[in-house]
Homo-oligomer: A and B are copies of this chain.
Amino acid sequence: MGTLTLDRQSVVPLYYQIQQSLLRQIRSGELMAGSPMPSEQEIATRLGVSRMTARQALKSLCSLGVAYSQRGKGTFVSAVKLEKNFRQVMSFSEEMGQRGSQPSSRVLRFEKAEPSEEVKEALGLIAGEKIIRLKRVRLADSISLCIECTHLPLRFFPDLPEKYDPQTSLYQALGKHYGIQIELADEVAEASVATAEEAKLLKIRAKAPVFRFTRTAFLRSGQPIEFVKSAYRGDRCRVVNRLSRQMKQLV
């Protein structure tokens, strides 16, 4: 705490400077799991900010799950681990990159097409609307990991075929060329066994266990923007999730 001096000329908000400083102290071990964070009043006094600003810094850490508050007692560092690879909205390329594996793709199809009923409903398409379909075998370090079939509404990406190399990261291309940020995805996972065709593409034996995923990705507004069906080798994949209590207020 002692060493931090705030930059009041910076465009970076004060509460964010404070949050980052506290985060550094947690990572460095200066603030240990279970130990109390500096109180709102203490931060306010020491750094010469208002209590509301100090509070905003602490609350942002709570909403990240890094800390938790107890009325009348204080705010404490959570023992919950930060660095885990939780399943987030992540493309195959991003996920492999984070794991330190080299992602690559074998493109099976990349075309404009008519949507199936399932795709139509998931993407909220109007009658007659077309899609872009991209079917790939995805590999990590040259090992086939999954078969992935992505469906995008054509109207959002009319010139994707010219702009995008299907060997590369789709999410990156969507961000770069269309300014699209995926914020949310709903995903259904099923445990199943490989069909003959899947087995061949994934180089496993037929009826070996596979994960089947059905994922719909959304913009912040709730607009569905991508629908993906995929099959992952069961022997090489695990799904790690962090589950929390929430939505009590919604019910």
Contact = CB atoms under 8 A, between A and B. Distances in A.
Contacts of A89: 243-245
A241 B34 contact: no
> How many copies of this chain does one complex carry?
2
A33 interface: yes
Nearest to A34: B221
A199 interface: no
Given A80-B218, A184-B65, A243 B88 contact: yes
Contacts of A182: 245
A186 interface: yes
Interface string A180-193: 01111111111111
Interface of A: 19-20, 23, 33-34, 60, 63-66, 68, 76, 78-80, 82-84, 86-90, 181-193, 207, 209-211, 218, 220-223, 232, 234, 237-247, 249-250
Give 7 nearest A-B pairs by CB, closest first. Answer: A79-B222, A191-B234, A191-B191, A189-B239, A80-B222, A191-B209, A191-B211
